[in-house]
A and B are shown apart, each in its own frame.
Chain A
């Protein structure tokens, strides 16, 4: 459907809405009120988390059972600063947040280059045995393979020697390959006309330069989708880092949450503060890249 048709459709709908009687205005108000209530029932744990992170244990107990549970208490900045200050100094959460950020960024760059190159070769280059790769990609996408995390651990132990800083390789390398991302890249690259590449080849560019200077700049939407997904995946991963990292100073932020949670001295306010800090980057990425997230999940629906 062309853009014009879509616009015409939307216009028709608007006209229809205007034509409808006054009754529908009340319907609309009910709709919005109901939606607001539903949204609040979905988000109340998050409001509670943010509110409780600004309170001391006594204040939380005082507010328990009242609407004040959801309202941050900035009246007494002391508690707010206490909670966040403790999380930053005692557990050094900034260091772990930076670890997570670094791992995510490395994984994003590797993922885009490695899967992008592979997809470009499969989509645009002519070479014998292409069917083999097409078949493997299709197989791994359609068949639900229940990979066990334990065999992956034994392999990583064997080839990456999980000691010292080498263990970081086990965090960034496995998420750098994603069959599904290759699939997404292939779908996108096949919509790029051949004329762009031919023009660049006339100018004397080699294949790698074409990929870097022509194909990637044309693929910004899919790059954003892939980057957002790899970021969310690596940032939110909890189990795998705790299995492969032996040095606690290398822990990403999610793994550090376990250490914080095990501390017997911690107050609920501090726990909530650490959870808020862990979620802030995800909220920022989610709000900034909401369009790409929806698009990516839409593509996920095509998987079958």
Chain B
């Protein structure tokens, strides 16, 4: 492990030395001078950030690519061995035999397909609502954004309590008013993920609302005026002016919400635990690595996830961003 990290460091240093070489040569040609003292100061200023970034950002990225091809017990790093593609074939076998990984993929897909449109539409509606010119509607913005700043652990435990199967729990007591018997939404396999979708959308949409609002403020007022003069009604103005104006922001939001949704993990973990009806991809990956102590297999799953998410992101970019190029 020490050797591999030194090799990675050497590669980065070599690239950097090459860039320095180019810069110095170019500076000589143009007669620009580098002051030795200033350069040393700059290096000293950059050093702490470089050390931390190397250990906590670059190495994890590089290692997460490499571990997937090894057998690596978490507690015995000295027993690491290269096993080629066995982790990946294991993963595909797990999918083919309808094992936990297949359940995790199914649950994650269900979650993503529901939460991405729901959260974005909710956020857009809230943003349009807050965009009205009215005194004091900042307070609405503050209210809608509040769930975002509360921690995932707090909301998970809070909703676990609200949804508890007891007759006196919040949701069940409301259902009781309408004469519906108590339900256990979180542990009923049919409703687990639906409940988590609604909770996630509730907690997350305030964030996208703010980004939509900054996008809305960038749309020129004259466009609305022009549309109104052309006889467009409110709905047409929304379709013809607001939506096209929001396209760059929308692309950003779709991609970030999608990536965030693929990583869903804390809510099922704290509200339901490691069950067939609640396991998600990230949760499975974490469980295999941390509880199962099988770092190699976990990294292989992470790598597959990265490739999949990267591919979908590229497709989204093409679909949503491409129309801009046509014009």
A binds B: yes
Are B151 and A48 interface neighbours, CB within 8 A? no
Residues 161 to 197 of chain B near chain A (Cβ within 8 Å): 161-162, 164, 167-170, 172-174, 176-177
Q: Nearest chain B CB to A176's CB is how many angstroms away?
A: 6
Looking at the complex, which one of A115, A128, A154, A211 makes contact with B74 (CB distance below 8 Å)? A154
A48–B55 CB distance below 8 A: no
B68 CB to closest chain A CB, in angstroms?
A: 9
Whether A131 lies near B19 (C-beta < 8 A) is yes
B92 within 8 A of A: no
Q: Return the CB mask of A266-304 against B: 1 if under 8 Å, else 0.
A: 001001100100110011011100100110011011011
Q: Chain B nearest CB: distance from A182 CB in Å? A: 7
Which of B57, B146, B160, B302 is within 8 Å of A148, CB to CB?
B302
Q: Are A238 and B266 in contact (CB under 8 A)?
A: yes
Chain A nearest CB: distance from B22 CB in Å? 8
Verify if A207 is at the interface (C-beta below 8 Å from B). yes
Please tell me if B210 contacts chain A, counting CB pairs below 8 Å.
yes
Known contacts A42-B143, A129-B19, A148-B60: does B77 contact A153 (CB below 8 Å)? no
Residues of A in contact, count (CB < 8 Å): 94
In the complex, the answer to whether B214 meets A301 with C-beta atoms within 8 Å is yes
The reply to whether A271 and B157 contact each other, CB–CB distance below 8 Å, is: yes
0/1 per residue, B139-152, Cβ < 8 Å to A? 11111111101111
User: Residues of B within 8 Å of A, CB-based: how many?
Assistant: 101
Residue B79, interface by CB 8 Å: no
Q: Which residues of A contact B157 (CB under 8 A)?
A: 257, 261, 271, 275
Q: Are B158 and A149 neighbours in the complex by a CB distance under 8 Å?
A: no
Tell me if A8 is interfacial: C-beta within 8 Å of chain B: no
Cα distance A125–B36 in the bound complex, in angstroms: 11
Report the separation of the CA atoms of residues A143 and B143 in the bound assembly, to the nearest whole angstrom: 32
- For window 121-149 of B, CB contacts with A under 8 Å fall at 126, 129, 132-134, 137, 139-147, 149
Q: What 0/1 pattern do residues 147 to 187 of A give for CB contact below 8 A with B?
A: 11111111101110000000000000110110100100000
What would be 15 A-B contacts, judged by CB atoms less than 8 Å apart?
Answer: A31-B134, A34-B129, A64-B167, A65-B176, A128-B19, A128-B20, A140-B57, A144-B313, A148-B64, A150-B299, A151-B64, A174-B56, A239-B265, A239-B266, A254-B151
Instruction: List the 3 closest pairs (A to B, CB-CB), nearest first.
Output: A64-B173, A236-B151, A118-B49
Beyond the given A133-B46, A146-B305, A154-B67, please list 20 additional residue pairs across the A-B interface where CB-CB is below 8 A: A28-B134, A35-B137, A42-B146, A61-B168, A125-B38, A128-B34, A129-B20, A129-B23, A132-B15, A150-B295, A151-B295, A154-B63, A173-B56, A238-B152, A239-B265, A239-B266, A243-B290, A254-B153, A278-B151, A304-B255
**Chain B contact residues, CB within 8 Å of chain A:** 1, 15-16, 19-20, 23-24, 27, 34-35, 38-39, 41-43, 45-46, 48-50, 52-53, 55-57, 59-61, 63-64, 67, 72, 74, 77, 126, 129, 132-134, 137, 139-147, 149-155, 157-162, 164, 167-170, 172-174, 176-177, 202, 206-207, 210-211, 214-215, 248-249, 251-252, 255, 259, 265-266, 270, 285-286, 289-290, 295, 298-299, 302, 305-306, 309-310, 313
